[in-house]
Each structure stands twice: as structure tokens, then as C-alpha cells.
Amino acid sequence: MCLIVFAYNIHPAYPLVIGANRDEFFDRPTAPLAWWETHPHVLAGRDLQAGGTWMGVTDTGRFAAITNFRDPSRIKHKAPSRGALVGDFLCSDTSAQTYLEQVRQSAEAYNCFNLIVKDESGLFYYANYQNQNRIQRLYAGVYGLSNHLLDTDWPKVKKARKKLTSLMKQELVDEEAIFTLLTDRQPAPDAQLPDTGIEVAWERLLSSVFIRSKTYGTRSSSVILMEKNGQVRFSERTFDVSGYCNQISETVLP
């Protein structure tokens, strides 16, 4: 997952509203949104190469999502899959804060990541990058997360947060409008590009909300609406290398 914007306890009818794009190489095998056969209470896509996932929910309202932290100088080529951190939380009944405390004990084994988890006790964020080794409880607000720390001032994070904030002022949350904000292919001006240690051409490509290239790009967009009555609507749209939407999945639970 490479861009997540979410509104937590802002809208009176929807305690949690999420819009997210998963960016990945097109040759990495992936299963679309579905209930997992091995854990039938888990609803998520699946990375068929490593077995984990980038984002998912359960039939009891647990939620988890992860993004990679982009720092090529700190890559560990034999590190375990970060997607397992999402899947392990969804498959367990460990409380969100306790789970992050457990993750923190072995966090240095992984490449850099941002992890968000939620259960009935609240919404929590943890990053294992350098001195950010603390668990943060999130309170009411609109947040944005890409491949740096939470609410880092990147152009696409600012743009997506601003649009989601505006949508939260409407009486009814417009799912289609959230999907629309996730399709923005406009790159940031070069003067506003972050410097994460990669070539400028890649910084430019990755600066848009929706990414498209011949080898790497936005593989799926997702919208999750968690209602006050406990109902959850999870919608996913997957894309091919041309940016064409080739599959739509919609699930309402419970």
C-alpha cells in the first residue's frame, strides 16, 4: 500500500472512512479482495509471492494496513515480508496496542514500514524508522500516509487529505468521489518532489496519487466505509498495466 488517506471519528455516521492505493510491480502475483480460505473471517487481497497482504478487515471490525517507508540506503535484502504484519494481526485476536508492542520487539528485522491497526479499543500507528520507535494512538482527524511517516508533507498526501477533508463535510459519504480522488495522475512539480534517495525520474513518477508505468504502478484502489452501526463496506478496483480497471469487488459485512 503506497497511499492511504483516512478520516477517523470525523463524520457522524462513519467513524472510519478510508481511501487507499496499492502500488506494486505488475509482475508480482496478487489475489484480489476475497475472504481467505485459511481464515474465513479475514477479508483482504493477498500477495501471492510472500503470502501476506497490504490491507484488510475482519468480520468483527478489525482493520490493518501497511506502507513501505522509502529509503534505499536501509534495504535489507533478506528481511521477512512486511505484508505478514497485516495478515498476522487480522488472523489474531490480540488487542491492537498489544500487537504493536509485540511487533516493536522484532521490528529491526524488517525493512522500514508504517503499520496501522484498529480494533474496538481504538486506532493505532507504528513506524520502525530510526527514532520513530513509538506506538501512537490516533485521535479524531483526517490523516494521510504514503512512503514516509504519517502526515508527511508530500504533495500527493496533502492533495488527497484536502479532498477527503472536503468530502467529510457532506451528509452522505460519496464512495465514488473517494475513488475519483484516488485516480489523480498529475505528478507534483519538480520543485516539490521529495528526495528519498532515488532518481528524479522515479520521484516524479511516484509523486502522483495514481501511478502508471510499464513495469510499476497502482494495482488497486480501495474504499472502506465503517458505519456507526458496525456495518463495513469494502470496495476494491483493480487495474492492469495500462491503468484500465479490470475488476470491481464490493463486500458489505456483517
The count of C-alpha atoms lying within 13 angstroms of the C-alpha of 33, restricted to the half-sphere facing its C-beta, is 25
Contacts of residue 97, Cβ cutoff 8 Å, sequence gap at least 6: 121, 122, 124, 135, 137
Alpha carbon of residue 55 to chain centroid: 6
Confidence of residue 1 (pLDDT cuts 50, 70, 90): confident
Tell me the pLDDT tens digit for each residue of 9-51: 999 999 999 999 999 999 999 999 999 999 999 999 999 999 9
pLDDT at 85: 98
Q: Which amino acid is at 72?
A: P
pLDDT at 26: 97
The pLDDT of residue 233 is above 90: yes
Cis peptide before 254 (omega within 30 of 0): yes
Q: What is the mean pLDDT of residues 218-244?
A: 97
**What's the CA gap between 80 and 85, in Å, rounded?**
10
pLDDT at 106: 94
Answer for the pair 178, 223: CB distance below 8 angstroms, yes or no.
yes
SS3 63: strand
pLDDT at 186: 97
Tell me the pLDDT tens digit for each residue of 188-204: 999 999 999 999 999 99
**What's the CA gap between 254 and 242, in Å, rounded?**
35
Answer for the pair 19, 223: CB distance below 8 angstroms, yes or no.
yes
Provide the residue count of the chain. Answer: 254
Domains of the chain listed by start with CATH number: 3-253 (3.60.60.10)
Listed in sequence order, the DSSP H helices in the chain are 83-91, 96-105, 155-167, 175-181, 200-205
Tell me the pLDDT tens digit for each residue of 126-170: 999 976 778 999 999 999 999 999 999 999 999 999 999 999 999
**What's the CA gap between 23 and 21, in Å, rounded?**
6
**What's the CA gap between 171 and 2, in Å, rounded?**
29
Average pLDDT for the chain: 96
The pLDDT of residue 88 is above 80: yes
pLDDT at 254: 80
